[in-house]
């Protein structure tokens, strides 16, 4: 279900963002680096080219929002909650979504290398053309998650669970915990391309060619 964002939005942003509720607001081009927005609630809004690098979004709630461009690099969103949110072309290197709940979220063309979803809950989440190299998905609970044309090189999925999930045209080289891929559906051509990774997950050794 896509975000339900009103056509007419305000533009005023409070100076204090901790434990603040903001609704029906469009924020564009703002520099919010290192801002403390713990327990912020942002609903029915849009962020465009906003720099949130190093910001603290612990316990924050984003609902019915669209985020376009900008940076969430090294954002601490531990135990946050994202519901019906679309993130497009956002730089999110090193973002922490540990123990965070993401429901009906779409991330497209985002850079999520070194991101952490450790112990998070992902339900109805779609990753499209995202960089997820060295992402931390340890002990994450994933339901109806789709990964399409993503790079998961050296990702760690140890202890993760997947139910009704799909993976298409993704790079899986060097992932840790391939045995935890159970519950993911792949096209047959992807299975063939990732045969070495999948074999290691079930303990099959690849014999040297003569």
Task: Note whether residue 8 is domain-resident.
Answer: no
Distance of alpha carbon 85 from alpha carbon 142, whole angstroms: 17
Within a domain: 152 = yes
Is 3 within the bounds of a domain? no
User: Looking at residue 181, what DSSP letter applies?
Assistant: G
Question: What CATH number did the domain enclosing 192 receive?
Answer: 2.160.20.80
Residue 175 lies inside a defined structural domain of this protein: yes
Assess if residue 13 is contained within a domain.
no
HSE on the CB side for 210, CA within 13 Å?
0
The per-residue pLDDT for range 75-131, each reduced to its tens digit, is 999 999 999 999 999 999 999 999 999 999 999 999 999 999 999 999 999 999 999
Decide if 127 contacts 148 (C-beta within 8 A).
yes
- Residue 168 lies inside a defined structural domain of this protein: yes
Dump pLDDT digits (tens) for 143-164: 999 999 999 999 999 999 999 9
Domain residues for the domain of 61 are 21-201
- Residue 16: predicted pLDDT: 82
Question: Would you state the pLDDT for residue 210?
Answer: 42
For 98, the 3-state DSSP assignment is coil
The residue ranking higher by pLDDT, 83 or 24, is 83
**Residues contacting 16, CB < 8 A, separation 6+:** none
- Is residue 86 domain-resident? yes
User: Taking the model in full, what pTM does it have?
Assistant: 0.88
Tell me whether residue 14 is in a domain.
no
Half-sphere exposure of 32 toward its Cβ, with a 13 Å CA cutoff? Answer: 28
């Amino acid at each position: 279900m896509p975000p339900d964002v009103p056509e007419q939005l305000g533009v005023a942003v409070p100076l204090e963002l901790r434990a603040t509720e903001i609704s029906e607001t469009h924020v564009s081009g703002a520099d919010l680096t290192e801002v403390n927005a713990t327990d912020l609630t942002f609903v029915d809004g849009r962020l465009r080219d906003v720099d949130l690098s190093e910001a603290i979004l612990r316990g924050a709630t984003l609902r019915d929002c669209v985020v376009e461009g900008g940076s969430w690099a090294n954002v601490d969103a531990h135990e946050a909650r994202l519901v019906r949110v679309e993130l497009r072309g956002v730089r999110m290197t090193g973002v922490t979504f540990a123990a965070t709940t993401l429901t009906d979220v779409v991330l497209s063309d985002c850079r999520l290398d070194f991101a952490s979803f450790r112990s998070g809950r992902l339900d109805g989440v779609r990753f499209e053309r995202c960089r997820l190299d060295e992402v931390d998905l340890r002990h994450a609970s994933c339901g109806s998650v789709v990964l399409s044309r993503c790079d998961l090189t050296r990702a760690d999925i140890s202890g993760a669970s997947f139910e009704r999930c799909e993976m298409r045209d993704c790079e899986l080289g060097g992932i840790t915990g391939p045995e935890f891929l159970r519950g993911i559906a792949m096209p047959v051509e992807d299975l063939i391309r990732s045969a070495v990774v999948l074999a290691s997950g079930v303990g099959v050794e690849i014999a040297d060619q003569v």
